Chain A
Amino acid sequence: MTQFLKSREALLIAVIVALLALIASRFPAFIEPSNLSKVFNDTSPLILLAIGQTLVILTRCIDLSVAANLALTGMVCAMLNASMPGIPIPVILAIAVSMGAVMGAINGLLVWTLSIPPIVVTLGTMTIYRGIIFVISGGEWVNSHEMSAAFTGFPRAEVLGLPMLSWIAIIAVAMFLLVIARTPLGRAFYAVGGNPNAAVYTGLNVGRTQFWAFVISGTLAGLTGYLWVARYAVAYVDIAGGFELEVVAACVIGGISIAGGAGTILGTLLGALFLGIVKNALPVIGISPFWQLAISGSAIVIAVAFNARASRTKGRIILKRAEGTA
């Protein structure tokens, strides 16, 4: 119990509660359940992508291509729906998930078999995926009137009072809480990130574990791609531009160490919620949305500084780097 109180998660919960209290003191309507569920629904895409990113960062990698993956999958789904409105939603979902998985697998394969640094791979695939959207769409938009009602209705369909989009985020959180805690693959993510050398000696394939992290991250990005396009009922080249930074921000704020091997899904969830609340509160308290970018930037910097302070031991930094490069 005392351990939990000292943890990053407890700190984040306290910060979020304080933030909500502060907003509520001026604008009580903000913390009404109906509004809070709206905020959660709005944050759901971020939560979905951040879960995938968490796994990738746990294995000492980073995936900057998630937003481009989301946009490309979203565009493909929208164009399929516009040209063949008869395709049932489960088929669209299957296409979205498998497209995302393939794009994640491309990242993963380049990292695994060619050991190219993940930052380079995903910076490259980020521009490639984004460029492909332009090539297939010719720069055209797919607008809401071209999409079928079933297509745009799915993420908004209410089940037990919450929209489908929120439920998918909740299911993903629950599923990956289990995967991380109870499956060999989940434990492997931590082992590989915590100490790759030791992981090899225990019989884990470091590259393959990283590959699976990328596949999961890509899969979630693909799934979110369809949900995003359907929810906003529009698809164009630049959707979710720069979203990858917000995703990394959510993870870093949630206490996922960029050095790998440390962090929890719960932390990521709270990090994403923090960003989501800030984003939704800005217009309410009358601050221009142009502040959003600078606020996430500062949040990343402050959170990284916090992470480092929490895990610092004397004289460790340099030695640790040397190990990492060896």
Chain B
Amino acid sequence: MTDVARHIPDRLDSPAARLLKSWEVLLLAVAVAIFIANSLASPYFLNAWNLSDATFNFTEKAMIAFAMALLIISGEIDLSVASIIALASTAMGAAAQFDVGVVTLVLIGIGTGLICGAFNGVLVTGMGLPSIVVTIGTMSLFRGISYIVLGDQVYKGYPSAFAYFGQGYVWWVISFEFVLFAALAVIFGILLHKTNFGRAVYAIGNNPTGALFSGIRVRRVKFILFLLTGLMSGIAAICLTSRLGSTRPSIAFGWELEVVTMVVLGGVSILGGSGSIPGVVIAAFVMGLVTFGLGLLNVPGIVMSIFIGLLLIAVIALPRLWQMWRFW
């Protein structure tokens, strides 16, 4: 390490070169490569309806991933998102047994998400507890409540209009979920990259003490982020429940891993402070294409999870290996 100075460049790359070397562009190249590989591997891949079906693999998870990206950039994490889906879905299922309207169901889904998010937020920001343990705890707690309510039962009988959120199409092959996903991507992109709130999120992730001393209300910002994550989990619960048409307590089991993988794959540092929404959007497409392509090749879901686990570790390990190799 004595001649580190040798490796410090005396000028920065041009903006175009920096863009070319960015994580997002690399990821985009990977996405294109997977797309081409898929269309070569299976004759059924290049079909508008099949591709439209493929988007369902990631739209719900990606909605949560947007909020999770902000949360991870701020230096916290929420592992309870999949359990929030289970609880919100159970709450909607219970309400559906009383023949309530679609609007009420949606409000219940969103409300449950917000309450769960607020609960995490109060524990982490109000009591100053580490988010990783708190959300491991609430992960069992929220899903546990679903199990208490449902046991081995299942809720069905959602109103037929409710099916639109997960099964409806806005125009031709463009599903409602995909439109929602795109809209949320834009909203979160603007929130993170174009507003004061977004700057505050980066500041907190890089240096919480510095952020506090520069007048950012660190705890309030973090609380809002937990609320947002809860809200997005609630919205994802509405889409997923509507798509499946039924609720079991094991719904969305293990999704927290896929959401975190998506965020990390999108170039968000797990230690906080850096990352972008466009990166997460491309990562969502990459993961969706990989799972869909493997599905077309009849690879079982649990084997796909090996790929996802490897992807998660490789994505973080490779840049570090590359850096170690350069400094050797």
Question: Which of A86-94, A162-170, A293-301 participates in binding chain B?
Answer: A293-301
Which of B127, B132, B139, B270 makes the CB contact (< 8 A) with A305?
B127
B207: interface (CB < 8 Å): yes
A247-267 interface code vs B (CB 8 A; 1 in, 0 out): 011001000001100000000
Residue of A nearest to B272 (CB): A325
| Inter-chain contact B309/A128, CB cutoff 8 Å | yes
Given contacts A305-B129, A308-B128, is CB(A120)–CB(B316) below 8 Å?
A: yes
Residue of A nearest to B209 (CB): A322
A288: interface (CB < 8 Å): yes
| Inter-chain contact A296/B140, CB cutoff 8 Å | yes
- Residues of A within 8 Å of B247, CB to CB, are none
A35: interface (CB < 8 Å): no
Which of B136, B207, B271, B300 makes the CB contact (< 8 A) with A300?
B136
- Residues of B within 8 Å of A131, CB to CB, are 302-303, 305-306, 309
Shortest CB-to-CB span from A324 to chain B, Å, is 10
Residue of B nearest to A293 (CB): B144
| Inter-chain contact B303/A123, CB cutoff 8 Å | no
| Inter-chain contact A120/B264, CB cutoff 8 Å | yes
Given contacts A115-B320, A126-B309, A288-B151, is CB(A258)–CB(B257) below 8 Å?
A: no
- Residues of B within 8 Å of A252, CB to CB, are 133, 137
CA distance A57 to B218 in the complex (A): 27
Shortest CB-to-CB span from B214 to chain A, Å, is 13
B8: interface (CB < 8 Å): no
- Residues of A within 8 Å of B138, CB to CB, are 297, 301
- Residues of A within 8 Å of B115, CB to CB, are none
A291: interface (CB < 8 Å): yes
CA distance A294 to B83 in the complex (A): 11
Residue of B nearest to A287 (CB): B148
- Residues of A within 8 Å of B145, CB to CB, are 294
- Residues of B within 8 Å of A293, CB to CB, are 140-141, 143-144, 147
- Residues of A within 8 Å of B128, CB to CB, are 308, 312, 317
B317: interface (CB < 8 Å): yes
A28: interface (CB < 8 Å): no
Residues of B in contact (CB 8 Å), total: 51
| Inter-chain contact B209/A123, CB cutoff 8 Å | no
Which of A128, A288, A299 makes the CB contact (< 8 A) with B306?
A128
| Inter-chain contact A318/B209, CB cutoff 8 Å | yes
B281: interface (CB < 8 Å): no
Of B132, B208, B309, chain A has the most CB atoms within 10 Å of the CB of B309
A292: interface (CB < 8 Å): yes
- Residues of B within 8 Å of A290, CB to CB, are 144, 147-148, 151, 249
A121: interface (CB < 8 Å): yes
- Residues of B within 8 Å of A181, CB to CB, are none
Residue of A nearest to B264 (CB): A120
| Inter-chain contact B313/A318, CB cutoff 8 Å | no
Residue of B nearest to A65 (CB): B309
Which of A62, A125, A135, A322 makes the CB contact (< 8 A) with B132?
A62
B161: interface (CB < 8 Å): no
A114: interface (CB < 8 Å): yes
Q: Chain A interface: which size bin?
A: 35 or more
CA distance A108 to B303 in the complex (A): 24
A197: interface (CB < 8 Å): no
- Residues of B within 8 Å of A318, CB to CB, are 208-209, 212, 218
- Residues of A within 8 Å of B208, CB to CB, are 318, 321-322, 325
| Inter-chain contact A294/B305, CB cutoff 8 Å | no
Shortest CB-to-CB span from B255 to chain A, Å, is 12
B123: interface (CB < 8 Å): yes
| Inter-chain contact B303/A304, CB cutoff 8 Å | no
| Inter-chain contact B209/A304, CB cutoff 8 Å | no
Chain B 177-226 interface residues, beta-carbon cutoff 8 Å to A: 207-209, 212, 218
Shortest CB-to-CB span from B181 to chain A, Å, is 24
Residue of B nearest to A57 (CB): B133
B294: interface (CB < 8 Å): no
Shortest CB-to-CB span from B65 to chain A, Å, is 15
- Residues of B within 8 Å of A295, CB to CB, are 144
B262-294 interface code vs A (CB 8 A; 1 in, 0 out): 001000001110000000000000000000000
- Residues of B within 8 Å of A198, CB to CB, are none
Which of A110, A127, A297, A322 makes the CB contact (< 8 A) with B137?
A297
Residue of B nearest to A119 (CB): B132
Chain A 88-128 interface residues, beta-carbon cutoff 8 Å to B: 110, 114-117, 119-121, 123-128
- Residues of B within 8 Å of A206, CB to CB, are none
CA distance A245 to B140 in the complex (A): 8
A154: interface (CB < 8 Å): no
B4: interface (CB < 8 Å): no
| Inter-chain contact B313/A124, CB cutoff 8 Å | yes
Chain B 106-165 interface residues, beta-carbon cutoff 8 Å to A: 123, 127-130, 132-134, 136-145, 147-148, 151
- Residues of A within 8 Å of B127, CB to CB, are 305, 308
B321: interface (CB < 8 Å): yes
Which of B123, B254, B312 makes the CB contact (< 8 A) with A301?
B123
CA distance A225 to B264 in the complex (A): 31
Residue of A nearest to B302 (CB): A134
27 A–B contacts, CB within 8 A, in A order? A115-B320, A117-B270, A120-B312, A121-B313, A124-B310, A125-B309, A125-B313, A127-B254, A127-B257, A127-B308, A128-B310, A131-B305, A237-B302, A245-B140, A248-B133, A294-B140, A297-B137, A297-B141, A297-B144, A300-B140, A300-B141, A304-B123, A305-B129, A319-B209, A322-B209, A325-B75, A325-B271
Known: A293-B147, A308-B129. 17 other contacts (CB 8 A): A110-B317, A123-B257, A124-B309, A127-B254, A128-B309, A128-B313, A132-B306, A258-B133, A292-B144, A294-B147, A296-B144, A297-B140, A300-B136, A304-B123, A318-B208, A318-B218, A319-B209
Closest 10 CB pairs of A and B: A294-B144, A297-B141, A297-B140, A300-B137, A131-B306, A293-B144, A127-B309, A301-B137, A128-B309, A124-B313
